[in-house]
Structure 1
Amino acid sequence: MKLIIKITSFIFCAFLSVSLWAQEGKAQAFWIHEDQVNPSMRMEYEKASKDLVAACKENNIQTINWAVASMDDGTYLSITPIENLADIQNKNFGDLQEKVGEEKFTKMFENFNKCYDNHGDYVALLLPSLSYMPDGLSTDTPGKNYRVWHRMDVSAGNLQKIEGKMKELKDLFASKKSKMHYRIYRSGFGTMGDYYTAVISAKDALEYDTMSKENDNLLGEDGQKLFGEVFKYVEAYDVKRGGMRPELAYQPTALSNNTVKD
């Protein structure tokens, strides 16, 4: 889960450049904490998550909020919208620690730590210019908590080229009035290498698979050709499935304007 992070001036200055880039590109930055939970510990991890949510609700914690997505491989993502790196420092569990006491607070996070061997934090940027949501860009998709993540790793020299092709792809989806809507995220501060992730929402796996097949037929040869051109610039490609977990999320009333669903 999330950690109280000490921010050095060097890191803060580095993120400022990312923040300015996001504002100029009208992107939204998200702080993501990733836990790679061991298969045998998923139930205990989710219990620890629910206990943390309950403690935050009971103590009316207003200093932090997060959504949670879980992937079929045991990866859990805690997701919080931010304006800049200072938000990560400000959004912390200090208030909860003060209210529940050091011993109980430490125990809560020890319950998380025993569930995984690897975890960490990074920033992702939602890119409106590459996303296709003709009804309005939003991470909130009511009734569609199922998610599919398509990750494409790209070398630094091919970033502009692939973005050009992804814009062409968005135009093709729009011209065909595709019902498969997607959001594009780009890797940001705290990651090694560059990658893009297309996130698609659906009611369930059946709806996604049906929609995907219909979309392939709709785009036809034009789609096959353009996807082929996109993948010329992809170094590695990975698909994961899962969904949003609202029962593991925490959203205080005071932060209701900063909600996020993926």
Structure 2
Amino acid sequence: MRTPFRLLLALLFLSSTLMQGQSDADYQSFWVHEDHVKPAMVNKYENVNKKLVSELKAHNIQDEQWITTQTDDYRYLYVGQIDNMASLDRPVFASLAEKMGSDKMGSLFSEMNDYYDKHFDYVIHLDKKLTYMPEGINQTPEGQDFRKFYYVYTTPANRGKLAENFKKIKKLYQDKGSKVSYRVYRSGFGAPEDYFLVAIAAKDALSYEQQAVANRSLLGEEAKPLFDEMSQYMSGMEVVTGTMRSDLAYSPKQ
């Protein structure tokens, strides 16, 4: 992500935050860098990314940190927490370039350009009020690397109604003591459409399906009118399966 984009993102994101009256208690924001990798180039793409992570670890770069998800449709999502606006307004990988040399680092990114068709950046907001994780919100629960993502698309006119519907669904999960937890994100600046993203973690695909079946039985007939109501405020839905990739993530040593 280039610095001019960061500056624009900071200004627009700040404006959006002020208009919506968001508070740190209810929301946590994240930047997302998304690469759409050519299927035949996956191995080469990952090798370059592993070299990048190796360099970051070797120099213990302190000002970079992200988690990584690989989806079944060859998308790679790099997600990093935004703690304040200053975290957006900075040259990315500047510390790494200083340590390893800008030419060497530049060659890594130049090589990577050959391996994907498109890439872009955007912001998402974790909505803590809509999220259901009784044991505490955690993006990377231990031993649960499988992911199911539900992109629930909506329109500006229906965004608020859909949010109220999510509150009703969360209450049903709470009342029933559901064992299936989930996180809800709202799309932010740079996202191509308005959506709510529901992220569910599980050990693997089989565990996910077993949990889903048990949960449908637990929620019973009370769930149907809520999901019928949801369909009224949706403009579409996309279901994506993914896997957390700790080998392509980076977190500095303290």
TM superposition score normalised by structure 2 = 0.94
1:250-261 superposed matches below 5 A = 250-254=250-254
Corresponding position: 1:154 with 2:147 = no
Deviation at 1:24, TM superposition (A): 5.6
- 86-95 or 124-133, which deviates more: 86-95
Matched residues in 2 for 1:91 and 1:207: separation? 41
Partner of 1:114 in structure 2? 114
Partner of 2:3 in structure 1? 5
Matched residues in 2 for 1:84 and 1:18: separation? 14
- The one-letter code of the counterpart of 1:122 is Y
Q: Structure 2 vs 1, CA of residues 159 and 208 (structure 1 numbering), >3 Å: closer, same or farther?
A: same
Matched residues in 1 for 2:128 and 2:7: separation? 30
Q: Summarize deviations over 1:57-78 as a string: whole Å, max 9, x none.
A: 1122112111101101000001
Partner of 2:35 in structure 1? 35
Q: Summarize deviations over 1:120-141 as a string: whole Å, max 9, x none.
A: 0000000011011111122130
Deviation at 1:211, TM superposition (A): 0.5
Matched residues in 1 for 2:47 and 2:56: separation? 14
Partner of 1:51 in structure 2? 51
**Contact 1:22 1:29 survives alignment (8 Å):** no
Partner of 1:95 in structure 2? 95
Matched residues in 1 for 2:63 and 2:7: separation? 22
**Contact 1:36 1:118 survives alignment (8 Å):** yes
**Contact 1:64 1:91 survives alignment (8 Å):** no
Q: Which consecutive segments of 4 or more residues in structure 1 shift more than 6 A?
A: none
**Contact 2:7 2:88 survives alignment (8 Å):** no
- 87-96 or 144-153, which deviates more: 87-96
Q: Summarize deviations over 1:72-105 as a string: whole Å, max 9, x none.
A: 1000001100034431233721111122223211
Count residues with an aligned counterpart: 252
Deviation at 1:216, TM superposition (A): 1.0
Report the RMSD for the aligned CA atoms in angstroms.
1.7
Unaligned runs of 5+ in 1: 255-262
Deviation at 1:22, TM superposition (A): 3.6
Task: Give the share of equivalent positions with the same residue, in percent.
Answer: 37
- Secondary structure of the residue aligned to 2:233 is coil
Partner of 1:133 in structure 2? 133
- The one-letter code of the counterpart of 2:92 is N
Unaligned runs of 5+ in 2: none
Deviation at 1:19, TM superposition (A): 4.0
- 92-101 or 28-37, which deviates more: 92-101
Corresponding position: 1:17 with 2:15 = yes
Corresponding position: 1:222 with 2:222 = yes
TM superposition score normalised by structure 1 = 0.91
